[in-house]
Each structure stands twice: as structure tokens, then as C-alpha cells.
Structure 1
Amino acid sequence: MRILLTGGTGLIGRALCGLWQSQGHELIVWSRRPEQVPALCSGARGVGRLEELENSGSASALDAVVNLAGAPIADKPWTSAQRTLLRKSRVALTKELVDWLGRQAHRPRLLISGSAVGWYGDCGERMIDEPSRQGTTDFGSELCGEWEREALRAEPLGMRVVLLRTAPVLAPQGGMLEKLRLPFSLGLGGRLGSGNQWMPWIHIDDLTRLIDHVLQSDDCRGVFNACSPAPATNAEFTRALARALHRPAVLRVPAWALRMALGEMSVLLLTGQRAVPMRAIKRGFKFQHPILKEALAELLARRK
């Protein structure tokens, strides 16, 4: 296949490029820094503008588009400027991409577009699968809704659209685990607020395999929760990571301190979704790393 990726130089994109290059697919990454793409993305070709694909004749030969671009949502408080950046990197980019696809005489058959389990908002203890309604919404869930609506505009163009509501990704390098490893290694890890909020998660290898599954399956369309079938609470996650690193985790960050420091963005840490990947399970997709304790041990061993 010839596949166009956005967000190809990110954590998930780099892992996908490694997998798909090994399968013999031809990969093109739309990037702000196309000159860095070959080194970061397993030899993929980088383009800085979509029009370059038209000039080279590659646009008419695309089989699929995988749209994963988006500035990190948890790196900075949600100021007005940061909200503008987050919308631009997700909603505006997806609009530009779908508008471009609409102008092509020959379109790819498939658009896989990123989203997040944060779409559901705060759902408390309620189990969440793909048909579930939203809970208490916040900026993050509203952003995911705008993002998905732009991607769904590809359906009237005759394209199969898959929306991936992805949980925080655990990987040996980068992502959430990279940020948590140092404080937990120093014995400074601890639960956040009550610790009862649910934390969906997914191992990077299971995520890339799931994306590859929906790429290869012509009957996959619509929303897929990309998360482990066994979500954990924040307290459970804290204990599991501390034990994996052989360190104590007795500290606690009170909710009021997180709200004061982070403002509305604190909802990412103090609320959650008890999400499960029901559509993937019903299709018979087999998760290789469904248990948090075992997933953490495998990922930390890969760092040694």
C-alpha cells in the first residue's frame, strides 16, 4: 500500500512507520520538517506541502491516509493561546487534509483519524464502550468532538473513515511512561487526588497492531476505542508502576493543588474514563499486553 501519514514523527507515527516499512508499504509523511522524516520514520519520504504529492503524481496513487497529527494536550495549561494551538494542530489540520482530499479526482479508500478517549469526558464509574454517551464535558472532550467532525467529512467523499479514540500510550521511550519514570524512580510517585479516577491505557505494540488491523479490514469503519481491555484506577496504576520500579509510592498530590497549578487542564489527571475496546474485542482482536503489571514490566525491560 501507499500510505500518507500526518503526525508521523510522533510517538505513535514512528512506531507505525517501523511496522509498515517492515511489511513493505510505501510511506509518505506530511510534516513541518520533512527533511527530518527519513531519519525519524524508518526511511519514509517527507513532504512539507500536500501539493507536492500532486506534482509528483503520488496523490492519485494513495491507498490510505492516517491522520495522527496534534500538539501534546497535557504539556501546558489550557490558556487561550494553547487552546488555539491545540485546535489548529488537530481541527484545522484535519480540515485542510479533508479539503485537499475532496479536490482529488482519485481518492484513497480509507481515512484513519486520531481522537482520544477524552471524547467521553468524565464518566465516573460508568463502563464506557464505543456507543456510550458523553459524560461531563470539558475542553478536551469538546476538542475531540470538533476533530472527529472534520474527519467524518471524508465519508461523503466515498472514503471509509475510522476514528481511533486512543488512551494514553505506554511505550519504552517517550509518552506518559517517560514522564513518570524519573519521579517514580526517585520514590516521588504517588496517587493524584482520590486516586479513584479511571486511567485507560494501551501498550504501544497493541496500538500499532490495532491500527494495522483496521487498515487491513475493509469492514472496519466508525469509532474504535484504542485502549487496553483492563483499565486501571489512578491508585492501581501508581502501585503497579512503583512496584515495577521497586520503589515506594506513598505521596499524594491533593486535588486542590492540581486545580490551582493547572486550572481546567487538571481534569486530565483528576477525572477519567473506564473505557474498554469492545468493538476490537468483538472482532476477535487479541491484545498482546492487556494486563498493566505485565505491560509495565515488558516496557521497562526494553529500556535496559
Structure 2
Amino acid sequence: MNILISGGSGFIGQALSQYLQGDRNTSNHSSTQNTSANITWLTRDINQAHPDSVSLMSYEQLKTTEATFDVIINLAGAGIADKRWSDERKQLLMQSRLKPTQALLDYIERIANKPKLLLSGSAVGWYGAQGDKVLDETSGFVDDFAHQICDSWEEQASLATQFGVPVALVRTGIVIHPKGGMIAKLLTPFKMGVGGQLGSGQQIMSWISLQDWVRAAILVIDEQLNQTPKAVDNMKIYNFTSTTPVSNRQFTKQLGDWLNRPTLMTLPEWLLKLMFGEMATLLIDGQKVLPTALLDLGFEFKHQTIQQALHQQI
């Protein structure tokens, strides 16, 4: 199986690539786990560091290549929580998602042998800030910048269906791993004993372990590839979140317990807004997002608690 990944060098992309190339001890699911996949990362830097087992393709090469791929996985995009949201940053966040997606659409339109699936990233930010209201793939949204960026990304990716390529839109929550993502950014202050809750601590955090994210992606790919042509869904939305969202206070306590450090500090809401401006909504406004579509596929989570996710091996 040949798989093209945009954003392959990122936190999730690297773990997914490693798994697809043979580290299959974290899943019970079928077809892609039986043979090691050939992975190509789509990149703007053809000289970037990468595993020897991974091939690189530039966006310029994508314009003319005759190479074909069974599955395309679209994860490219600047980190939404990495910097304060200035007007310039907002533009970068949007274009860093839309430009790679458009490049993939141009390739899909041009190539005769179409991929069997485009799995395209998004985030639970699509739902906007809705507090502790229970949300699933059928729920509506609150219009804010997080929604706008996710909605634009999803809308563009969905255009692949016009060329006969099914699309799986993946709305990801906070991805938990002991050595990467959000946890990596929190380790230093928490180890120093100055970690603590954000604002009221009541805001709900929808999360998923990195291992479960990878396993869920494999299941979605397998489900699509194993369907008969007449049964193939043109587009499907999946929430990649655990079934046990937690409050920020609960998350803080579990992270402190894991590190054996106190978590007595509180960053008040007014200070977070002063420090981060509009981006503070990611920290102080919650979303309670459940993975109904994954559960309907029979997916079983390995990590139901933050503590389990912090002890995962992948």
C-alpha cells in the first residue's frame, strides 16, 4: 500500500508513519496491518530530516508526478496554539491548511488512478466554544475563529468527492502523549511545581491518546478500503476524542499526580486573556465532544483516562 502524508514530520504524522511501517502491536484491526505501507511525506523542504524508510516529495514534484497512492492523509498546518492570534497569524493558520489541501486536490484531479481515500485533518474547534454541552458528529457549531478555520479546511478537503475520492474528515481533540504535543509544553512548569489549572478549571477538555488516534485512523482507513464500491461513503466525519472528556481541573490534577508535583497554582481568566488575546478561548472555553462515529465502527479505546494515556508506549 502506498500512502502520501502531508504534515508527516509532525507529532501525529511521525507516529502514524511509524505504525504504518510495521509497528502494529497497538491495534486489532485488519487490512493495513498485514503489510508494511510505503510512506511518502509531502514537504516544502525536500532536505528535511526523515526516517530512512520514508520517501520525500516536494509540492513542486507533486504537480507533475505520475506516482499513485492508495490513501492520502492530509495533516499539514501551523500549530493553532503556538502563537498569539494577530491578523497575520490568523492568515498564516488558514493558508497553511488551505494551500497544501489545494495542492492535493490539484493532484487528485489530474491523476488518472485516484486514491481510494482522502483522510483530512480538522479539530474539535469546528464546534466552537459550547461549554459542557454534549457534542457529536451531528451537532451544530458556534461561530468563532476556531470554527472558521476548521470549517474552511473541511469544506476544501470535501471537494475531493467531486473527483470520485471518498473523504474522511477527522476532528481531533487534544492529543496526549508523555513526550510530545501539549504535554511536552507543560512538562517544564509542572516539573518546577508551578503548574496549575487555567481559569475556573471547569472548562471541558476533549482529548485522545496518541496511540488511540493512530489506531482510530487505521480503523477508518480499513473501513473505507474494505467496502464494496457501491457501499463507499462519499464523506464521513469522525471525532477523534476519548469517551471520557475531563475538566481542566481534573486534567491538571492527573498530570501533577503523574509527575508527583503539586498543582496549586491558578492562572486567572483575565491574565490568560491579557497574555494570549483571542487565542485564550482555546484555554478557557471548553468543548465536550464524543466519538459517536468511531464507536459505531466498533472502535475500542485503549486509554480511557489521562493517567493511562501518560503511560502509553508508542
TM-score bracket, normalised by the shorter chain, equals: over 0.9
User: Structure 2 residue aligned with 1:45, among 37, 42, 55?
Assistant: 55
- Number of the residue aligned with 2:136: 129
Tell me the amino acid that sits aligned with residue 298 of structure 2.
Answer: G
CA RMSD of superposed structures (Å) = 1.6
Q: Report Cα offsets for 1:179-236 as digits up to 9, x if no partner.
A: 1111111111111111111111111000001011111112564110001110001011
After TM superposition, give the deviation of residue 246 of structure 1 in Å: 0.9
- Distance in 2 (CA, whole Å) between partners of 1:275 and 1:16 is 23
Report if the CA contact (8 A) 1:3-1:64 is conserved. Answer: yes
Distance 1:51 1:246 in 2: 49
**For residues 131 and 50 of structure 2, what CA distance do their matches in structure 1 show?**
43
Partner SS state of residue 228, structure 1: coil
Partner SS for 2:3 = strand
Provide, for residues 42-95 of structure 1, a one-character-per-residue CA deviation record: whole Å limited to 9, x for no partner.
62100112535744x31xx31110000001111111111111111111122212
Describe the SS at the equivalent of 1:27: strand
Matches within 5 A, 1:142-291: 142-218=148-224, 221-291=235-305
Q: What's the offset of the Cα at 1:170? A: 1.0
TM-score calculated relative to the size of structure 1: 0.92
- Residue identity over aligned pairs, in percent, reads 38
Aligned AA for 2:167? V
Task: Output the CA distance in 1 between the equivalents of 2:260 and 2:113.
Answer: 55
Equivalent residue for 1:29? 41
| Higher RCO structure (Cα 8 Å, ≥6 apart) | 2
> Which stretches in structure 2 are left out of the alignment for 5+ residues?
23-34, 225-231
The number of residues matched between the two structures is 294
State the 4+ residue runs in structure 1 displaced beyond 6 angstroms.
none
* Rounded Cα–Cα distance in structure 2 between residues aligned with 1:161 and 1:52: 20
Q: Give the match's secondary structure for 2:47.
A: helix
**Alpha-carbon deviation of 1:124?**
1.2
Residue aligned with 1:38, SS: coil
Report if the CA contact (8 A) 2:9-2:50 is conserved: no
Alpha-carbon displacement from aligned partner over 1:138-181 (angstroms, at most 9, x marks no partner): 21111000000000000111111000000111123220010111
What is the TM-score normalised by the length of structure 2? 0.90
Q: Secondary structure at the match of 1:239?
A: helix
Native 8 Å contact 1:71 1:89 kept in 2: yes
1:80 aligns with 2:92: no
The answer (yes or no) to whether the contact 1:116–1:167 under 8 Å persists in 2 is: yes
Q: Is the 8 A contact 1:37 1:46 kept in 2?
A: no
Q: What is the rounded CA distance, in whole Å, between the counterparts of 2:74 and 2:108 in structure 1?
A: 12
